[in-house]
Amino acid sequence: MKREIKPIYLFLFFALLYVIPALLRHWLLLSNGQDLGLEVNLIYNIKHSVFEIPMLSDRGGHFFAHHFNAVLLILSRLPDFLITPYFLLMLQAIAVASAIFPLVWIGESISLRKEEKLFLTVFLFSNYYLARAILYDFHPELFFVPLSIWIIWAIHREKWGLVWVFSLIAWTLKEDIPLIIAWVAIYYVFVFRKKEKKLNFPLFLLAIFSFIIFLGEIWYMNLIASIRGNGSISGSVSLSQYLWIGRGEFLSSLFERIWYVLKYLLSFLFLPVRYLLPYPAILEMFLRANKEAYSFGLHYSYSSMGLLMVSSLYGAKTFFQRWRIKNWLLIIIALLNLTFFINKEVRILKGGSFSRAYFFHTKVKGLVDNRSPVLAQQNLVAHFAQRERVLDLGHKGWKRFLAREAKWLILDLQGNTWPMKRAEYSRFLKKISSRKMWKVLIKERNFIVYKKMSTH
């Protein structure tokens, strides 16, 4: 009798595979994600009851007028020593890896062979889009990748208590997630409409309640925007933003959008057309005006990725029933995909410098006090996020922040200068160096540390 695969071993393997490079990337100053520092700063300030600051986004407006990330209020209950970029990256990686458990169990329920389950697990969890989303930055909505799979597993097992618990957590992640959960519930009403009619009522209840939560979150965001102002965040939030977005240069970019969707779907290998579960979430991104969204870049694939993984299991079952693949070939393909994943991460980590990172952590960070407002480059800002005010050069308000609030300016000449181009960045360096109020305290290893001196 063949031994069944133990999901705990796969979970531990992928948890380490995600956690180690994520933490090393950040320590080596290779985490260029924009939101990592913002989220740490928000959680830290909520924790310390600096109410005006955490509710303000880095774009100058009220934070909940931009995204309904209520989960940050939950994370603010953590002790101070855990409100760090390292812990959030680790938590995100472990949470995503936990999706292995329900995915393997769903594979068992549809009678996939041991080798097929192993192949699919390794292939899906060494996916390029998944790695790019969780290893360089932190986004609360990425927790929906495992939660969506846990919700589907609980629906299949008729564990309604767990369905509601997982859904409740998911509702706090971002404002459009309740709408996706509502679609999942409606989808399974049609799946079970003949064989399991008794499931229709709890599924309809979940769909209706999720849609009400979605409307409530949109209403709350608009209310906050109208009362407190939303700064430079454009306009209020509308239903059309999540139900149908066809603005901008949609038609001119249509073929480009189709290419990105096909590329995204093919990365999951076995997605069959007849499994409609992930398509509304994919359609939401397809219709977005933002290129990062419709190209499924960065974290924008979070809403559909878990649903795609589940669909891939069913597509694989159909495929393997028609085409019997040798076990050794499945293992080779899975190992090749895993090798590409690891090789890519190794190449990225080789781009960092241990001695340079060590100099930053011991000399640069040690020089800056823990309270003063800091303006830093994108790859550095998360390292200074445990304070009331911190901002990076990638945001519109940085010039005003530099002139009025910032006491420290931390620059990395090798770091990401986005959105400035190198020529613009060079002009900025010349301009800041000519101002007497800014004194250079460190200029070494391509780091420049400025401190604002009193003008009195």
Q: Are 196 and 181 in contact (CB under 8 A)?
A: no
Reference 338, options 147, 137, 118; nearest CA is 118
pLDDT, mean of residues 71-92: 94
Band of pLDDT at residue 244, cut at 50, 70 and 90: very low
What is the predicted pLDDT for the residue at 249?
A: 65
Distance of alpha carbon 243 from alpha carbon 250, whole angstroms = 16
Distance of alpha carbon 325 from alpha carbon 321, whole angstroms = 9
- Tell how many helices (H) and how many strands (E) occur in the chain: 21, 5
**Token pair belonging to 229:** 């102002």
Residue 42 to residues 18, 24, 70, 118: CA-CA distances in angstroms?
A: 24, 23, 11, 39
Distance of alpha carbon 298 from alpha carbon 250, whole angstroms = 20
Reference 148, options 170, 129, 164; nearest CA is 170
Distance of alpha carbon 98 from alpha carbon 102, whole angstroms = 8
Position 207 pLDDT exceeds 80: yes
pLDDT, mean of residues 368-396: 89
Strand, coil or helix: what is 444? strand
Position 78 pLDDT exceeds 90: yes
Q: Are 92 and 134 in contact (CB under 8 A)?
A: yes
More confident residue, 307 or 49: 307
Band of pLDDT at residue 239, cut at 50, 70 and 90: low
Distance of alpha carbon 434 from alpha carbon 289, whole angstroms = 40
Give Cβ neighbours of residue 162 (< 8 Å, ≥ 6 apart): 150, 154
Distance of alpha carbon 412 from alpha carbon 445, whole angstroms = 9
Q: Which run of H or of E encompasses 412?
A: strand 408-412
Position 434 pLDDT exceeds 60: yes
pLDDT in tens, 252-269: 788 898 999 888 888 876
pTM of the model: 0.90
Percent of the chain with pLDDT over 90: 42
Strand, coil or helix: what is 78? coil
**Token pair belonging to 16:** 């380490």
Residues 362, 364, 365, 367: what is their CA dihedral angle, to the nearest 10 degrees?
100
Band of pLDDT at residue 420, cut at 50, 70 and 90: confident
Location of structure tokens 């407006």 = 61
**Token pair belonging to 299:** 């974290």
- How far is CA 190 from its chain centroid? 30
**Token pair belonging to 144:** 């929906």
What is the predicted pLDDT for the residue at 237?
A: 55
Peptide bond into 419 cis (omega under 30): yes
What is the predicted pLDDT for the residue at 201?
A: 87
What is the predicted pLDDT for the residue at 301?
A: 82
Location of structure tokens 């906050």 = 224
CB atoms within 10 A of CB 116: 20
More confident residue, 241 or 307: 307
Q: What is the CA radius of gyration of the chain?
A: 23
Position 271 pLDDT exceeds 60: no
Q: Provide the edge-to-edge strand list for the sheet that holds 408-412.
A: 390-392, 374-376, 408-412, 447-452, 438-444
What is the predicted pLDDT for the residue at 273?
A: 60
What is the predicted pLDDT for the residue at 178?
A: 95
**Token pair belonging to 224:** 């906050």
Position 242 pLDDT exceeds 60: no
Q: Which run of H or of E encompasses 448?
A: strand 447-452
Burial class for 215, CB neighbours closer than 10 Å (0-12, 13-18, 19+): middle
Q: Which run of H or of E encompasses 447?
A: strand 447-452
Position 75 pLDDT exceeds 50: yes
Buried b (16+ CB within 10 A) or exposed e, 331-370: eeebeebbeebeebbeebeeeebeebbebbeeebeeebee
Residue 232 to residues 2, 63, 397: CA-CA distances in angstroms?
A: 60, 11, 9
Q: Looking at this protein, which amino acid is placed at residue 25?
A: R
pLDDT, mean of residues 211-217: 94
Position 251 pLDDT exceeds 60: yes
Task: Name beta bridge partners: 412.
Answer: 447
Q: What's the N-to-C CA distance of the chain in angstroms?
A: 83
Q: How much is the mean pLDDT over the chain?
A: 85
